[in-house]
Structure 1
Amino acid sequence: MRKYLLSFALAFMSLTAFAQADYEKIMAEKIAKTETSKTAEEFQTLTNDFQRIGSKESSKWLPPYYAAFSQIQKGRLLMRKGNMQELDEIAGQADKYLSSAQNLAGADNAEIHLLRKMAASLRMMVNPAQRYMTDGAKATEELDIAEKLDPSNPRVALIKAEDIYFTPEQYGGSKTKGMEMSKEALAKFNAYKPKTTLDPNWGRTELEYFISMSSK
C-alpha cells in the first residue's frame, strides 16, 4: 500500500511539473508576441489567447494581467491613429482583466496599478477636456500608487517620461524634461531584473525607440 501511494505521489508530481512547464512555454511564446504585434487585430488575438490560458490556470495572475496589457496596447495603437471611439470599451475590458489579476496577486502589485493608470489614460483621451478631472485624476492616482509600491520600476519611469513629453507645456509638460526622464528610465531598465521569466518586462524596446525618435 505504501509503495502504491509513493508511486501515485511521484506520478502526480511528474504531471504537475509537466503542466507547469507547458504553461510556462505557452506563456513565454505569447508574451514574446506582445513585443512584435503591430495591429489591433493581433493584440485582440493575444487578449483572447491569454484569457483562454487564464481560464485553465485560474490561480495565476499573469494571464489576466497580460490579457489587460494586450487590450491596452491595442487601445494605445488606435489612439495614436486618432481612433478614439473604441477606447472606452477597450479600457473597460482591461479593467475587468485587471480586477481578476488583482484578486489573485493582491492590492500591492505595482505592475497592476500601472496598467490601471494606462487604462484610465485611454478613457481620458476620448475627451480630455471633460475627463481630465475624473479619468485623468484616476490615472495620476494609480501611477502614484505604482511608484510608491516599486520606485525602481522602469515601466513606471517610462510612462511618467512619456506623459511629461507629450503633455503640452501650458499644462505642465516639457519635451526636454520628458527626454531627461526617459534616459533615467533607461538606466532603471539596465538595473532591473524581473522576478521570473514570465513577470512583466515590457517597455525597453518602446523606450529605446522613443529616445531615438525624439533625439532626431
Structure 2
Amino acid sequence: MKKQILSFTLVLFSLLSFAQTNYEKIMKEKIAKVESGKSAEDFQALANDFQRIADKEKGKWQPSYYTALSYIQKGRALMRENKVQELDEVADQAQKYVDEAKTVETNADIQLLQKMIYSLKMMVNPMERYMTFGMKATEQMASAEKLDPNNPRIALIKAEDVYFTPEQYGGSITKGMELFKQALEKFNSYKPKSDLDANWGKSEAEYFVSQATK
C-alpha cells in the first residue's frame, strides 16, 4: 500500500512539474512577442493568447498582467493611427486584467500599467480629462515609483511623458532625451525576479538614446 501511495505521489509530482514547465514555455514564447508587435491587430491577438492562459492560471499574476499590457499596447497603436475614440473600450479591457493581477500580487509594474490605463483614457480628450484621468495617472506613477524606484519601465514612461508633452504644458524634448538615457542605465542594471516577470521596454529606450547620438 505504501509503495502504491509513493508511486501515485511521484506520478502526480511529475505531472505537476510538466504542467509548470509547459506553462513557462508557452508564456516565454508569448512574452517574446510583446515588443515585436506593431499593429493593433498584433496586440489584440496577443491579448487573446494571454487571456486564455489567465483564465486557466487564476493563481498567477503574470498572465493577467500581460493580457492587460497587450491591451494597453493595442491602445498605443490606435493612438498612432489617430483612433482615439476607441481608447476607452481598450482601456476598460486592460483594467479588467489589471484588477485580476492586483488580487494576486502588488508590485510597481502592475501599478505602472494602471498609470498607463489612465493615460489612455485621458488621451480620448486631454483638455477635458486631464484633471480626472491625468491626475490619476500622476498619482499611480508616484505610487509605482515608491514601490520600486529603480524600475526602468517607470523611468521609460516618465521619459515618454516628458518627451511627447508640448513645451507649453511642461514637456521638453531635451529633458525627455536625458530621461531616456537614465532609463537605459536602469535597464542595464535591473534584474527581474523571474523570467516571467516584466522585462519589456529596453529596446524603446535604446532607440531614443540612439537618436540623440545622430
- TM-score normalised by length of structure 1: 0.96
The CA distance in 2 between the partners of 1:162 and 1:215, in whole Å, is 18
**Counterpart amino acid of 1:75?**
G
Paired position in structure 2 for 1:8 = 8
> 2:85 is paired with a residue of what secondary structure?
coil
Paired position in structure 2 for 1:37 = 37
Query: How far does the alpha carbon of each residue in 1:168-211 deviate from its partner, in whole angstroms, 9 at most, with x for none?
Result: 11211111111111101110000011111111000001111222
Q: 2:143 aligns with which of 142, 145, 151?
A: 145
The answer for unaligned runs of 5 or more in structure 1 is: none
TM-fit CA distance, 1:214: 4.9
Q: 1:204 aligns with which of 199, 202, 207?
A: 202
The CA distance in 1 between the partners of 2:10 and 2:203, in whole Å, is 43
Which ranges of 4 or more aligned residues in structure 1 deviate by more than 4 Å?
none
**Counterpart amino acid of 1:187?**
E
The answer for unaligned runs of 5 or more in structure 2 is: none
Query: How far does the alpha carbon of each residue in 1:61-103 deviate from its partner, in whole angstroms, 9 at most, with x for none?
Result: 1001000000000100110221101100000000110000000
> 1:36 is paired with a residue of what secondary structure?
coil
TM-fit CA distance, 1:212: 2.6
Paired position in structure 2 for 1:65 = 65
**Counterpart amino acid of 1:189?**
F
**Counterpart amino acid of 1:49?**
D
Paired position in structure 1 for 2:127 = 129
> 1:193 is paired with a residue of what secondary structure?
coil
- TM-score normalised by length of structure 2: 0.97
Paired position in structure 2 for 1:56 = 56
> 1:30 is paired with a residue of what secondary structure?
helix
> 1:196 is paired with a residue of what secondary structure?
coil
TM-fit CA distance, 1:213: 3.5
TM-fit CA distance, 1:157: 0.3
Query: How far does the alpha carbon of each residue in 1:8-67 deviate from its partner, in whole angstroms, 9 at most, with x for none?
Result: 111111000000000000000000111111111111011011010111111111001000
- Alignment length, in residue pairs? 214
